[in-house]
Amino acid sequence: MVMPDQFAPALAYLDSIDPATEELIGRFEVTPAEELPRRLEHARRAQREWAALPVAERAKRLEALAGVFERRRREIAEVVTRENGKPLAEALFSDVLVSLDSIRWHARYAARILGEERVRHHNPIFKGKRARLVSEPYGIVAVIAPWNYPIAIPVTAAVPALAAGNAVIIKPSELVPWCGALLGELFDQAGLPVDMVQVIQGPGALGQALIEARPDKVVFTGSVASGQKVAEACGRRLIPSVLELGGKDAMIVLADADLEVASSGAVWGSCTNCGQACLSVERVYVEPGALERFTQLCVEKTKQLRLGPGLDPNVDVGPLIRRRQIERVERQLEDATRRGARILCGGRRRPDCGPLFFEPTVVSGVDSSMLLMQEETFGPVLAIQGVADGEEAVRLANESLFGLGASVWTRDRARGEAIARQLRSGSVMVNDVMSCYGITEAPHGGRAASGWGRTHSRFGLLEMAQVKYVASDLFPRGKKPWWFPYDAGVIELADGVFQALFGAKPAARWRGVRNAWCHYRERPH
């Protein structure tokens, strides 16, 4: 397994920090930006051979990758926990299992989804063609990934790209270089052709340099601020992109919800990964009949959460990733309380657990004027707002700049689904939260400030392929009647065609066919 080099000099290295202790646990070499052209050249060479394989053969190779993940699952999860801080159970479920499921799904279904499709032309003019839709890879897909799901996010972006015949260059976050190095090793071990998946390590500027080196597609997951820079850099070079950006997910609790279940969902949804998930529950809107009891249950359950280092199996919530993350949470809480919100539990740092621990927090009396309800929090905070009814909840939920995920909690499934349809977001779960990320069939992605394009599911796979229309003429010796030279006869012919195709009555359509045929015969063939 990749081990961090504990004693390497600092300059061209990224530090791997254990957020549970803030101790240096390793150093990993930075990839010099000057190396990128050579890296891309090698990727292109490897990609040509890979793309020439039938999809079914590529899918078979992915099975080998699944085997590697399955065998090394515990070790992968431990590296994620050491470097990202999340409890081991979360690393197993949300990083390893999600990755493995995605790999298996693509190995099984990619050939079917990307297979050639015969086109049946509806217009009789084109019945004399045999046509197919053919999927082709882009070439090199750059995957720029964040630190919060340091294995699942790059893997679920890279695997469809590979299945579709692309080479992949992954730029992990500089905060998780150990996970990055491990990723490179896992792909290598799967026996994929050399250079098909390359991991480059470095800061955000290296991500920028990667785009400047002109890959053929970019899949970026990260903050809105970086996403804007990525979109700009891609736009300037006309490189197509998928942007998976931040979220401010709303949870709507209707009066008839099972509050015992909904409160557990809310506490988990706001505190899993220490609240540092794009699909975290960040805003809760509760109907009057449920507000008091729901809030009380959330407070009770939040107080029971156990903080500590993620490798301890009896820990629920780990540390935040860095100090700036804690400062962001504190700034939002301070703004909220100044405007009248009440912290019902938590709200403080926990230096007794470690320098980056923050108590899981429940806040009530919030409203849309507060930063806590506007900006992404990315910390273990549950903000609860009472609303008059479901309609107001929908209106407030849709006020956000973001539109990634949402959830609705009710015993009335029909009402829950009706509300789900009114929410402006990429996904909505009724009586569950966040698990859509682990459901490979569920497209993942957002609207508005949450980005564009989709990962996961067949839509994510199709994002990685370009569709080409290939048509053959069954009568190659005939010239087309709409070619040069033009004369009055062509206009009559066009008129006949219009009548034949769109005439209101059968008699008019027949007349059109006759006219068109007469004028067609007079055209040069």
Q: Which residue is nearest to ligand NDP (CB)?
A: 207
DSSP codes, 489-514: HHHHHHHHHHHHHH-SSHHHHHHHHH
Q: Which residues contact 309 (CB under 8 A, 6 or more apart)?
A: 20, 21, 85, 315, 318, 319, 354
Any idea which residue has 């429940």 for tokens? 362
Let me know how many helices (H) and strands (E) the chain has, helices first. 18, 20
CB of 171 to ligand NDP, least distance (A): 6
CB of 168 to ligand NDP, least distance (A): 15
Nearer to ligand NDP, 82 or 248 (CB): 248
Nearer to ligand NDP, 260 or 441 (CB): 441
Nearer to ligand NDP, 83 or 174 (CB): 174
Nearer to ligand NDP, 276 or 515 (CB): 276
* First-to-final CA distance of the chain: 70
Phi and psi, residue 475, nearest 5°? -125, 75
Give the integer Cα–Cα distance in Å for 307 and 314. 9
Nearer to ligand NDP, 171 or 301 (CB): 171
CB of 368 to ligand NDP, least distance (A): 20
Give the integer Cα–Cα distance in Å for 52 and 345. 59
Residue 336 has a CB neighbour count (10 Å cut-off) of 24
Give the integer Cα–Cα distance in Å for 145 and 303. 33
Residues marked as catalytic: 244, 278
Nearer to ligand NDP, 225 or 491 (CB): 225
CB of 94 to ligand NDP, least distance (A): 11
SS3 366: coil
Q: Would you say 468 and 132 are in contact if contact means Cβ atoms under 8 Å apart?
A: no
CB of 225 to ligand NDP, least distance (A): 6
SS3 57: helix
Q: Which of 155, 221, 218 is nearest to 192 (CA)?
A: 155
CB of 351 to ligand NDP, least distance (A): 23
Any idea which residue has 């990525």 for tokens? 230
Under the rule (CB under 6 A), what is the footprint of ligand NDP? 144-148, 153, 171, 173-175, 203-204, 207-208, 221-223, 226, 229-230, 244-247, 278, 376, 404, 444, 446
